[in-house]
């Protein structure tokens, strides 16, 4: 089940009057959101449905949490699909946590008067091209304090009419885009102290500009000689990293490749007499620079030290990434490295990835 089917099904069967028991159809669907959306959320994200505690929620919702960013909807920022009380619309929103705010901020209108200017300040901190078209205020059609706080605390949003939902592909693109907005908003959110009064809330943001899309600035360092020592080491693998590999293995196995994990290599693919050495990297905050540098270093290191010079088959080197690496794809091709990356609808890659049959 994808995003579209899940949202439509929840709206069709959810009934606040039926309570919160697990056997209630609407509550059951919400509790199964994690499993239903596991294959469509961005790498490192997990979905969780909420239908209320004790009493059923007037505006049920499905949170989408970034591991390493925030797992608690009470504080910080998180993504959510929030249904309007009449179940005719659902809004994808970047939300501020509400129930974990300090007591001195109050409740009701006083709390909303804190949340709304902070949401506007966070929106103003975003790059204009990233936030374009997302300056939408949720309308949840409820006078209860919770839904009103959601409306006030929304940083960016996109509203969908459940009777005329966009395609699954469009919904996935929106989710991946707002996940990028989420990552861009985290640092600005941390700069805004919860101790600050709403009337004094200000934020400034200066975007980094690069000569080519996706390329970090280069600054030369000391050119004196040095000696590099290669030794055994432990490399920390995040859940994002493992999630990327697991998804890719599922995909590539359907294309006739055999995939195996051979420590310390992330992944080895084989098909016929050919072998591909794959290094997987997570792109952080929409900037692929660090991920590409690490992939290049490890691919060349493993190719040199883990394969004999007279080996009958030298592997094709592959960099695998959680998102589009933009201007770095031609750079990697020039080094003889194939690049593959996730997209909301599947997988894409460099020309060499296409010719190798790794992607279409």
Which domains occur in the chain, in start order? Answer: 3-200 (3.30.920), 239-355 (3.40.1350.10)
Tokens of 187: 């640092």
Per-residue pLDDT of the chain (360 residues; tens, 9 = 90+): 899 999 999 999 999 999 888 889 999 999 999 999 988 898 888 999 999 888 899 999 999 998 777 777 888 899 999 999 999 999 999 999 888 888 887 789 999 998 999 999 999 988 888 888 999 999 999 999 999 999 999 999 999 999 999 999 899 989 999 998 998 888 778 776 444 544 444 444 343 434 444 444 334 444 444 444 444 444 444 567 888 888 899 999 999 999 998 878 889 999 988 899 999 998 876 778 888 999 999 999 888 888 876 666 789 999 999 888 878 899 999 999 999 998 888 899 999 999 999 998
Q: State the pLDDT at residue 310.
A: 63
Q: State the pLDDT at residue 67.
A: 73
Which residues lie across from 282 on neighbouring strands?
Answer: none
pTM of this structure: 0.68
Query: Is 25:49 a contact under the CB 8 Å cutoff?
Result: no
Tokens of 149: 């706080």
DSSP 315-356: PEEEEEESS--TTHHHHHHHTTEEEEEEETTEEEE-HHHHHT
DSSP helix/strand/coil, 28: helix
Q: State the pLDDT at residue 235.
A: 44
Q: State the pLDDT at residue 228.
A: 40
Q: What's the farthest any 2 CA atoms get from each other in the chain?
A: 74
Query: Is 30:51 a contact under the CB 8 Å cutoff?
Result: yes
Ranges assigned E (strand) in 35-188: 45-50, 61-66, 77-83, 89-96, 154-161
């Amino acid at each position: 089940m994808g995003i579209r089917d899940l949202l439509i099904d929840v709206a069709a069967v959810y009934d606040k009057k039926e309570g919160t028991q697990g056997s209630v159809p609407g509550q059951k669907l919400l509790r199964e959101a994690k499993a239903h959306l596991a294959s469509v959320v961005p790498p490192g994200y997990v979905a969780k449905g909420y239908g209320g505690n004790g009493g059923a929620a007037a505006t049920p919702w499905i949170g989408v949490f970034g591991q390493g960013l925030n797992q608690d909807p009470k504080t910080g920022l998180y993504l959510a699909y929030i249904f309007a009380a009449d179940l005719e619309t659902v809004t994808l929103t970047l939300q501020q946590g509400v129930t974990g705010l300090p007591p001195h901020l109050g409740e009701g209108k006083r709390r909303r008067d804190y949340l709304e200017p902070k949401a506007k300040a966070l929106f103003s901190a975003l790059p204009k091209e990233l936030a374009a078209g997302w300056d939408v205020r949720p309308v949840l059609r409820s006078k209860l304090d919770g839904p009103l706080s959601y409306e006030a605390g929304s940083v960016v949003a996109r509203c969908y009419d459940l009777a005329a939902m966009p395609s699954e592909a469009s919904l996935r693109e929106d989710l991946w885009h707002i996940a990028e907005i989420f990552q861009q908003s985290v640092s600005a959110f941390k700069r805004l102290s919860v101790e600050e009064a709403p009337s004094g809330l200000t934020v400034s943001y200066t975007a980094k500009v690069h000569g080519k899309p996706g390329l970090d600035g280069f600054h030369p360092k000391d050119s004196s000689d040095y000696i590099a020592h290669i030794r055994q080491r432990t490399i920390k693998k995040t859940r994002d990293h493992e999630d990327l590999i697991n998804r890719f293995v599922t995909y590539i196995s359907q294309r006739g490749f055999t995939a195996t994990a051979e420590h310390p290599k992330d992944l080895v693919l084989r098909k016929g007499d050919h072998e591909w050495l794959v290094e997987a990297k997570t792109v952080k905050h929409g900037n692929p620079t660090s991920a590409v540098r690490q992939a290049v270093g490890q691919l060349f290191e493993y190719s040199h030290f883990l394969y004999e010079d007279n080996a009958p088959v030298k592997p094709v080197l592959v960099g695998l990434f959680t998102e589009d690496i933009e201007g770095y794809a031609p750079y990697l091709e020039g080094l003889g490295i194939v690049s593959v990356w996730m997209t909301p609808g599947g997988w894409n890659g460099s020309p060499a990835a296409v010719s190798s049959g790794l992607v279409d």
